[in-house]
Amino acid sequence: MMDKKISKTFIKQTVIILIFLGVQSISIYAQEHNTNIIQIHRIHLTCKGPFGKHKVKNWLDIVSGSKLSMNEIHKRCEEVLHRLQQQGYYFARFEEVRLAYRPDSTMADLILTLNEGKRLKIHSLTMRGVDPDSLEDFPLLQSKPGKPFNSWVLQSDIARLLDYFDEQGYPFSQIKVARLDFARRDDSMPESLDLALQIKPGPRVRIGEIEITGNEETRDYVILRELGIRPGELYVQRKIEKIQSRLMRLGYFRQVQPPRLELLPDGTGRLIVQVEEGHNNRVDGVVGYNPGVGRQKGFVTGLLDLSFGNLMGTGRQIDAHWERRSEKTQQLRFRYLEPWIAGLPLHAGISFEQLIRDTSYVQRDFGLDLHWMVNENLSFTTRIARSQVTPDSLGALLLGIPPSRTLNLGFGVSFNTLNDLLNPRKGLKYEATFELGKKKIDSPDQENETVNNPSFEQKRWTVDFEAYWPLFRWQVFAVGIHGRQITSDEEVISITDQYRFGGTLTLRGYREEQFRGSRIAWSNIEYRYLLGPRSRFFVFLDVGYFFREDLINGIKKKIEDAKIGYGLGLRVDTPLGLFGIDYGLGEGDGLSNGKVHVRLINSF
């Protein structure tokens, strides 16, 4: 791989030499007091060639009233010549650059005469070492006989040739400019070039062995199946360059070195992948405090996430989640993921979730999902889930919640190009799902005699979009847009089926799950200042919207509203883990009524 870097450096040097040989001396007449500031009264420009005065004046960027030194004028003229060289006018020169001072000597007219010369063209271009006609899908070059010569186009063509040989399994290919002569008809200025490229493809390499080093816990086969390349395949640079990002996105490793290639005696290559194990298990805790309103006392909320991301080095995952959203609302969730079913990029997961909502009802969900990884960025998901709602007596009496069972079938797509999972600097993440469900009302008991419609059809849509843009050094602008909607042939959407949002992960500045609706949306906007690889300070603005229909005294009423939250936050990487604190204010909140959320993510 080192040979290729030397080759590309040689190309750039050759192009520079070419420009040096082709460009005639620039006649710019030095004036006295080159560093003195001069105010330009008028510009008198004469152009000998196809380029008009207007374009050249725009390149010069000198207007009446400009104040600049003669040295600066020289630089502006050199920039014009550089632009002309990019267009193939390598013999362009300024025949005259002088100042004509006004009688009072305080201002001067700038007099310029530009001779653009003839446009240098390519007379012939030959390739030595290979026969392009014998190679499949050989790239078409922009540098062709009869075309104007452009050094940057030639450099781009050579880079395309190197990429072509990379893709064909020639990792040690070299390309050099072997011939560079002016084609002269007589003693006049040359008008064309004869070019020859010397191409040395080198050996065609197949991957004979793949060696994994540095993995203390993760098993070799777990890493090998994620590489996207197998022994016996051709060495393709495009695939090799993706290995580092593919492995880092797993979350198993602290660092992955760029793969190295060593030639073996039999002509095949040994691909060496060096990794540094990270912490695959994580404990994520959040503590929040909601101040009291009126006579209502404040209360503490909490969240605990326990994740084993690489169980015993096999890539299997176990997640456990507990959350106390309010004084009487708790959620418990378990999930297990089995990766690479039957050796295919197909992951299967099972999950269980229980939600105790105040003193109203208990909801239990069982799910099975399949994830098909198309590539390192794109995946598709299929999910089947069963949900059961059991109301208590208070929920059935006051809220009219009947016992029910729902069977859902869903499909989803995910696209992720984030460069980092915890503290991304660039990239985007998009997820969308659609679910079709059949909800059945359980048979009523003696106290609740009739149910008008024992079954209903439901449709659910979810969309999540996040984007990150680096602005200046250490600064990132982040935007998140999220939406949820459920439709049903029920008269109104049951409270148990509505979406809830508000709080730490959605609309900061409000209580956890303070709002609900059959259609909700929220956006998170953050301006981040990065303090380190995993640390940042940020200010945020959150905007949320919800809509629902409720039955009030037998009358259907639409309820919708929009809310705004804002504040600031901090994430700091400490020896105990990633510590985070957010302070958010909602509409009408004073500083003493802000919501504080404390979070600690510890990896082990």
Domains in the chain: boundaries: 2-19+120-200, 31-115, 207-277, 281-603
Query: Residue 402: what pLDDT?
Result: 84
pLDDT above 90: residue 259? yes
Across 164-178, 299-313, 467-481, 586-600, the highest mean pLDDT is recorded for: 467-481
pTM to 2 decimals?
A: 0.70
pLDDT above 80: residue 27? no
Domain 31-115 maps to which CATH number in 3.30.465.10, 3.10.20.310, 2.60.40.1930, 3.40.50.2300?
3.10.20.310
CA–CA separation, 98 vs 106, rounded Å?
A: 16
Q: 207-277 sits in which CATH class?
A: alpha beta
Query: Residue 453: what pLDDT?
Result: 56
CA–CA separation, 324 vs 307, rounded Å?
A: 18
pLDDT above 60: residue 171? yes
Query: Residue 332: what pLDDT?
Result: 93
% the chain with pLDDT above 90: 39
Cβ-based neighbour number of residue 266 at 10 Å: 8
For 177-236, what is each residue's pLDDT tens digit?
Answer: 888 787 765 555 567 888 889 999 988 999 999 999 999 899 999 999 999 889 999 999
DSSP tag of 40: E
CA–CA separation, 304 vs 602, rounded Å?
A: 11
pLDDT above 70: residue 561? yes
pLDDT averaged over every residue in the chain:
85
Q: Same topology for domains 2-19+120-200 and 281-603, yes or no?
A: no
pLDDT above 90: residue 70? no
Topology at the third CATH level for domain 281-603: Porin (2.40.160)
Residue at token pair 């192009």: 15
Q: Strands, DSSP E only, in 60-189?
A: 67-69, 93-101, 107-115, 121-128, 174-183
Q: 2-19+120-200 sits in which CATH class?
A: alpha beta
For 501-524, what is each residue's pLDDT tens digit?
Answer: 998 889 999 988 899 999 999 999
Query: Residue 29: what pLDDT?
Result: 41
What angle is formed at CA 595 by the lines to CA 570 and CA 284, rounded to 5 degrees?
Answer: 55
DSSP tag of 148: B
- Taking alpha carbons only, the member of 179, 63, 193 closest to residue 128 is 179
pLDDT above 50: residue 166? yes
For 372-417, what is each residue's pLDDT tens digit?
Answer: 999 888 999 999 999 999 888 776 777 778 889 999 999 999 999 9
pLDDT above 50: residue 128? yes
Buried b (16+ CB within 10 A) or exposed e, 328-352: ebebebebebebbeeeebebebebe
Give the least confident one: 41-55, 156-170, 381-395.
41-55
Average pLDDT over residues 539-552: 94
% the chain with pLDDT above 70: 90
Query: Residue 521: what pLDDT?
Result: 98
Residue at token pair 């905007």: 543
SS3 425: coil
